[in-house]
Every structure is written in structure tokens, then in C-alpha cells.
């Protein structure tokens, strides 16, 4: 069989014999490893899945060889070759495939779903290409700090049909970020051929729509891959922005170990087998007189023996311990809480306290920056960023395109790179496009990859402004359901600033909910300390002492509970109000202590009732404080409907003072 010739011309021609051997060794290691993993899987000796990249070794090794050692790579499940070339060891890979305690994901994800951030590879997840916005965020951090790091966002051609890829590449183009987008076009997205995936002849044809350059290259020519990657990375490093490289290649096997790839016809397969990347590389190395066939055979035997030995070793290593799962959900804070004697104060409303907190946080720490739609010159839909763009400039108060998934994912990458991003959602209803990045990336990074993600997602919530069903949700139940994120919901200016400061200084992703009816509510204006201070996340507050009944609530409903308590007082019912302030973590102690005191519980929330925070609080009290209750727990919530627009309908939807008073009186 004739092997198509490849020749060194550009940057690859400067590589030494030792460097070329290292590239060849990484390619051969990948092929032998994946071949053995595939056999183990088909033989029932390996759980999970195997996604072989056999046939694509030049694309992977070449991408890595064209990058600098300090550059970061965001890849997919078929990128073991990049991991190997970036320095991830056979032992690390084997431990992960067998789900062992000491593997990169500590047994919490299997097969190739891992990354070793300290070696320059981002965490791999199933939804593709979810690491693309994370890589964009790392590139953003690099641009801000001038570190010179280039991020590479890789995926297959099938993943380029997703909104995630579009948002990522569009954001990178707009901000001129140092990132290279690589697409390994292996002809099939699972079983779907290219013509069913996109309407242009090539993936790279789309680059013009993003205003960035693109190249289509032979992904099985190791020299061309190295040359083009090196050029793209250096261009990005020198401030020339992103580019797109389409590497045309072919996978020898199906999408995964269980896929026989019967959809590939014999003619296509034969064409690509003649262009096997390893065979072409070997022929070139022999023709140059650098190595001999005997050396290839000897290396093959050494690697095969090492791989077998490593896999046999990994099978018998320590399994993960279930008792570690819950403690590992959140990164522990090591930074001391900020102290403030409160000697200097200013009267502020709710939104002024938030703006003041944002200003002081950014002034105190240059790593704090903001992203969101219309937050710059326009100063945000509700003016929460008033004055900040003029003070801190466009690199720290970043106006983004309408791409919640893109800029929220970018916040994850920036946080991993050492920044403290604050994302503003124009309305928290728009969190849905961002949920993939919040729950798949931000929430899982510490648990799965051991890396803290200090980021805040803040924005307006709640009904009562005649904004209808798409600008009025209370998302706390939705968010609280996902492990790995914290959820806070302040009810007054003092707590708003203190919780915001605590959220930014927390090493975990924090969802910060601002009820928009509180923004300029005149009766909750209060003195707020100037200078940074914190309200502890996870600690509730007794808003009003009482003896007959406990109302547990938060956010916009605290003022409703306070007014209801005044009316009930005239009827001889003494109410205690607990503002939990934080949904996750929940201060169970303050709730249970109050119920022990009053023996009656009413839970007041603006979110709909089914599977909600009120349901969880009811469960906690029923389980841990049942014998302290004199009566059933009562919940005052909206009906289980969407939030309507018409004033008469919205007013009927929102829990009112009258509804609270009625529910409490019926309980007595």
C-alpha cells in the first residue's frame, strides 16, 4: 500500500531529532494505549466507555507540539494524544479509566473524561464542546494579565453545530482573545456524515462570519499540523487574536467502543487507511535518516509492555471512598473574613449598596472584573454598574454579546486562571442558557478536578414589576438543586453588600440573587458601612423576635413577613421572623432553634411550591424538629403556575400580607 509522503518545511523543520522522537513516541503511545483499552472494553474488563482516537494521532500530537508548554488546552473525550504530549502520565490515564481514588477525577468520572489543569489540560465533560467557553475565559484572563498564555479550544466537527461553539468563537473574535480554535474533522459526528451536520463545504468556511482567519489542513500530516498550530499560537500570543484551524482526519474505529462504524463505506475507509498518520511519519523519519524501522519496532515493544504493566497495576489500586464525596463538594475558604468597624457609614438603598460593593471590590483587587450585557457604557439594565465602566475601563467592565452560556463559561475559565469574575445576568430568567456551564463546568470542577472556581453570577429576580413570565422568576429552587454551587438571596442593603463581598471572596461559584422590587424600595434604606465587610454565607438572621410562631423567609418576602407580623401582633400573635439569607448552604440550626422556641412554622416564599426551597425546609423540620411542632407546617407560596403579566393576575400570584395573616390565623 502506497503511503502518501509528508515533508518538514516550516517550524517543524527546526525540531531536533530528540523532539521529533518525543512527538513520535506520544503518537505511538496513544495508539497502543487506545488499542489495548478498546480490547479491554470489548472483553468486558473495563467499565464505562472508550472513545478511540486511533487514526487521529497526528492531529492530537501536532496540536500539542505546536503549543507552548504554558499554553492551556480545552479538549474532548477523544484527545488522549494531547493529554499525553502535554505530560499527563500513563498512570494518571489508567487510574482514571479504572475509576480509582488517585486518578485525576478521583473515580468521579471515568474513561477520558478528565483533565490535569496543572499540566495544561482542562476538564473533559460529556456535553461538547463545553470546554470551549472555559478556554475562552482562560484566554481572557491571559489578555488581562499579559501572561502570554494561549488557550486552545478543540472539538470535533459535529460539536461546531452547537450554540456553545458559536458563542465561544464569536466572543473570542469580538474581544480579540489569544485563543486558537481547532476542529478535528474526522468525517462523522457519531454516525452523521458532514453533509448532515453543516451547510457549508467546510467547517472553516464559517470563520469569515466571526471575522477571524482560518485554515484547512491535512490532519494526518504531523508536520503541517505542528507548523500551522505553532503559527496560530504565536499570532495569538502577539496580540493578533483568535483563528480557526480545521484538521481533516479520520477515526479508524467508531464513535465509541460499542460502535462498529458500519456507516463508513469501504472506499472511504481505504482512502484514509492509505494516509495513516503514524505510517506517514515513520516513512518520513526513515527517509531523513533520523531513525530506523528497528528503532520503531523496539519502541513499540517497550511501550506495549509498559502500557500493559501500567493497566494491570491500575486495576489493583485503591478505590475511592464514599465518605469523601460530600466534603469534597466545595473548596474550603482559607482567606480570613474581612473586618470593618463600621465607623464610616452612608445611607443607601439596595442597589446603591450593590454598586458600592462592586466598586470597592474592584478597587481592592485587580483580579475582580465583570462581564454581562449592557453593563458598560449603559451601566446595566437596572444601573447596578453605574460609574464602574468609566472608572475601571472596558477590560474590567466587559460588555458582552447576548451569549449567557459563552460569558458564563468564560467566567469559569477566568476563575481557574486566577481571576475573580462577576457575571451579571440582565434578568435571572436568562440563566437557562447558562445552566450548562454553571452545572456542568463550574459546579463540578472542584469535586471532579480538585480546582476551585471563585466566580459570582448575579442579577435581578422576582415578580411584582409587571414584567411577565420571562423577566420575573425566583430561581433559588432551580439553582439549589445542583450540588457544588452556593445560592444567596439578601433582603436589605446591609446584607446585600456584605453577602456580595463574601460571595466574591468565596472560592466556589456563588449565585447571587437580587430581588428587583428591593432595588429602590424606600422603606428598606439603611446605613451601610463604607469599606469592605462580609456577611457570612450560610448564616441566617432573626429579623424579629417572637414566641408564638416562626416565619422562615428570604429576599423580597422578608418585608411581606414583617408587615404581616405587625398586623398579627394586634391580634395577640407574636411572630418570630427568620431571614435565612442563604439558600445553599442552609442554616438549619437557626430554623430548628426558632421552631423549638415557638412550636409553629410558616414558610413564606415567592418561588412556586412544587419541589422548592419551602419543601426542603419543611422536610428538615419534619425530620429534625417534628416533636417541637404543635401544628402542621404551613407554606405560603404562589400557585404552581408561570408568572402572569396582567396586574390583577400578578398580584394574585405573589404571596401577600393578607395571605400570610390568613394562613397564620388558620394555624392557631
Burial class (CB in 10 A: 0-12, 13-18, 19+), 327: exposed
Question: pTM surpassing 0.95?
Answer: yes
Q: What is the pLDDT of residue 2?
A: 65
Rounded distance between C-alpha atoms, residue 614 and residue 634, angstroms: 10
Known catalytic residue: 482?
no
Which ranges in the chain are annotated with CATH 3.40.50.920? 542-667
Residue-wise burial string across 386-416, b where 16 or more C-beta atoms lie within 10 A, e elsewhere:
bebbeebeeebbbbbeebbbbbbbbbbbbbb
Q: DSSP letter for 244, please.
A: E
**Exposed/middle/buried for 338, CB within 10 Å: 0-12, 13-18, 19+?**
middle
Region(s) of the chain under CATH 3.40.50.970: 11-315, 345-529
- Does a cis peptide bond (omega within 30 degrees of 0) precede residue 585? yes
The number of CA neighbours under 13 Å toward the Cβ of 662 is 7
Residues ≥6 apart with Cβ < 8 Å to 566: none
d(CA 559, CA 202): 58
pLDDT tens digits, 175-185: 999 999 999 99
Q: How far is CA 532 from CA 70, 358, 387, 453, in A?
A: 35, 10, 18, 22
For residues 112 and 77, the answer to whether their CB atoms sit within 8 Å is: yes
Please, which residues bridge with residue 528 across strands?
Answer: 346
Between vectors from CA 554 to CA 550 and to CA 555, what angle results, nearest 5°? Answer: 150
Closest CA to 404 of 355, 365, 459: 459
Q: How many CA atoms lie within 13 A of 52 on its CB side?
A: 25
Measured over all CA atoms, what is the biggest interatomic distance in the chain, rounded to whole angstroms? 98
Distance of alpha carbon 96 from alpha carbon 408, whole angstroms: 28
Whether residue 129 is preceded by a cis peptide bond, meaning omega within 30 degrees of 0, is yes
Low-confidence ranges of the chain (pLDDT < 50): 1
Fold of 542-667: Rossmann fold (3.40.50)
Task: Domain 11-315: give its CATH code.
Answer: 3.40.50.970
Rounded alpha-carbon distances, angstroms, from residue 579 to 37, 456, 539, 540, 556: 54, 21, 9, 6, 10
Q: Residue 222's closest CA among 268, 288, 177, 162?
A: 288
- HSE toward the beta carbon, residue 542, CA cutoff 13 A: 16
Q: Taking the alpha carbons of 165, 168, 169, 174 in that order, is the dihedral positive or negative? A: positive
Q: Rounded to an integer, what distance in angstroms lies between the CA atom of residue 259 and that of residue 569?
A: 70
Q: Which of 77, 230, 471, 515 is catalytic?
A: 471
Instruction: Give the three-state DSSP class for 180.
Output: strand
- 291, 25 Cβ separation under 8 angstroms: no
Question: Coil, strand, or helix at residue 582?
Answer: strand
Any idea what DSSP says for residue 447?
I
- Euclidean distance between CA atoms 119 and 136, whole angstroms: 18
In this structure, the number of other CB atoms found within 10 A of the CB of residue 518 comes to 25
CATH fold of 345-529 reads: Rossmann fold (3.40.50)
**Helix 277-287 with 57-66: angle, nearest 10 deg:** 60
Helix (H, G, I), strand (E, B) or coil at 541: strand
Give the three cell numbers for residue 348. Answer: 443607601
User: 163-202 b/e with 16+ CB inside 10 Å = b?
Assistant: ebbbbbbbbbbbbbbbbbbbbbbbbbbeeeebeebbeeeb
User: b vs e for 531-540, b when ≥16 Cβ sit within 10 Å of the residue's Cβ?
Assistant: bbbbbebbeb
pLDDT of residue 499: 98
Burial class (CB in 10 A: 0-12, 13-18, 19+), 487: buried
Amino acid at each position: 500500500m502506497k503511503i502518501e509522503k509528508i515533508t518538514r518545511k516550516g517550524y517543524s523543520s527546526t525540531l531536533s531529532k530528540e523532539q521529533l522522537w518525543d512527538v513520535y513516541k506520544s503518537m505511538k503511545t496513544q495508539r497502543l494505549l487506545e488499542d489495548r483499552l478498546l480490547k479491554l472494553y470489548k472483553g468486558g474488563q473495563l467499565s464505562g466507555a472508550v472513545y478511540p482516537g486511533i487514526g487521529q494521532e497526528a492531529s492530537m500530537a501536532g496540536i500539542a507540539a505546536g503549543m507552548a508548554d504554558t499554553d492551556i488546552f480545552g479538549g474532548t473525550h477523544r484527545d488522549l494524544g494531547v493529554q499525553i504530549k502535554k505530560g499527563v502520565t500513563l498512570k494518571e490515564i489508567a487510574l482514571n479509566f479504572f475509576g480509582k481514588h488517585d486518578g485525576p477525577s478521583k473515580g468521579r468520572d471515568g474513561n477520558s473524561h478528565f483533565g490535569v489543569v496543572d499540566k495544561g489540560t482542562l476538564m473533559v465533560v460529556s456535553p461538547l464542546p463545553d470546554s470551549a467557553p472555559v478556554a475562552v475565559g482562560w484566554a481572557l484572563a491571559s489578555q488581562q494579565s499579559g501572561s502570554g498564555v494561549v488557550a486552545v479550544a478543540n472539538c470535533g466537527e459535529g460539536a461546531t453545530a452547537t450554540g456553545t461553539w458559536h458563542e465561544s468563537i464569536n466572543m473570542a473574535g469580538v474581544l480579540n482573545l489569544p485563543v486558537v480554535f481547532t476542529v478535528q474533522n474526522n468525517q462523522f459526528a457519531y454516525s452523521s456524515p458532514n453533509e448532515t451536520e453543516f451547510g457549508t463545504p467546510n467547517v472553516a468556511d464559517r470563520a469569515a462570519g466571526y471575522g477571524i482567519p482560518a485554515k484547512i489542513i491535512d490532519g494526518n500530516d504531523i508536520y503541517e499540523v505542528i507548523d500551522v498550530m505553532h503559527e496560530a499560537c504565536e499570532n495569538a500570543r502577539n496580540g493578533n487574536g483568535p483563528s480557526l484551524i480545521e484538521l481533516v482526519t479520520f477515526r479508524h474505529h467508531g464513535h465509541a467502543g460499542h460502535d462498529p462504524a458500519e456507516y463508513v463505506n469501504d472506499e472511504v475507509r481505504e482512502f484514509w487507511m492509505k494516509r495513516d498518520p503514524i505510517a506517514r511519519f515513520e516513512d518520513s523519519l526513515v527517509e531523513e535518516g533520523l531513525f530506523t524501522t528497528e528503532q520503531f519496532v523496539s519502541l513499540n515493544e517497550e511501550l506495549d509492555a509498559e502500557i500493559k504493566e501500567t493497566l494491570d497495576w491500575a486495576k489493583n489500586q485503591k478505590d475511592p471512598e464514599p465518605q469523601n464525596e460530600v466534603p469534597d463538594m466545595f473548596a474550603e475558604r482559607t482567606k480570613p473574613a474581612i473586618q470593618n468597624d463600621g465607623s464610616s457609614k452612608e445611607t443607601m438603598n439596595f442597589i446603591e449598596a450593590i454598586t458600592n460593593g462592586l466598586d470597592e471590590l474592584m478597587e481592592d483587587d485587580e483580579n475582580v472584573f465583570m462581564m454581562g450585557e449592557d453593563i458598560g457604557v449603559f451601566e446595566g439594565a437596572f444601573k447596578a454598574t453605574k460609574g464602574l465602566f468609566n472608572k475601571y475601563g472596558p477590560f474590567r467592565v466587559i460588555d458582552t454579546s447576548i451569549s449567557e452560556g459563552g460569558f458564563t463559561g468564560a467566567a469559569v475559565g477566568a476563575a481557574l486562571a486566577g481571576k475573580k469574575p462577576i457575571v451579571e445576568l440582565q434578568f435571572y430568567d436568562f440563566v437557562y442558557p447558562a445552566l450548562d456551564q454553571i452545572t456542568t463546568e463550574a459546579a463540578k470542577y472542584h469535586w471532579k478536578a480538585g480546582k476551585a472556581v471563585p466566580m459570582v453570577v448575579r442579577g435581578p429576580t422576582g415578580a411584582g414589576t409587571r414584567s411577565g413570565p420571562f423577566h420575573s422568576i425566583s430561581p433559588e429552587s432551580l439553582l439549589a438543586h445542583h450540588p457544588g454551587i452556593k445560592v444567596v438571596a439578601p433582603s436589605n442593603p446591609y446584607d446585600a453588600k456584605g453577602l456580595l463581598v463574601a460571595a466574591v471572596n468565596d472560592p466556589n461559584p456563588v449565585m447571587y440573587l437580587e430581588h428587583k422590587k428591593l432595588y429602590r424600595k424606600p422603606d428598606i434604606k439603611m446605613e451601610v458601612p463604607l469599606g469592605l465587610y462580609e456577611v457570612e454565607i450560610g448564616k441566617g438572621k432573626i429579623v424579629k423576635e417572637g414566641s408564638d410562631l416562626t416565619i422562615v423567609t428570604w429576599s423580597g418576602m422578608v418585608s411581606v413577613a414583617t408587615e404581616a407580623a405587625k398586623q398579627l401582633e394586634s391580634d395577640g400573635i407574636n411572630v418570630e421572623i427568620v431571614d435565612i439569607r442563604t439558600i445553599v448552604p442552609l442554616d438549619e440550626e437557626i430554623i430548628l432553634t426558632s421552631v423549638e422556641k415557638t412550636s409553629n412554622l410558616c414558610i413564606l416564599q415567592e418561588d412556586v411550591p412544587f419541589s422548592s426551597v419551602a419543601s426542603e425546609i419543611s422536610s428538615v423540620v419534619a425530620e429534625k424538629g417534628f416533636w417541637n411542632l404543635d401544628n402542621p407546617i404551613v407554606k405560603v407560596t404562589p400557585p404552581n403556575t408561570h408568572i402572569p403579566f396582567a396586574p390583577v393576575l400578578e398580584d394574585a400570584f405573589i404571596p401577600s400580607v393578607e395571605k400570610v395573616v390568613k394562613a397564620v390565623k388558620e394555624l392557631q
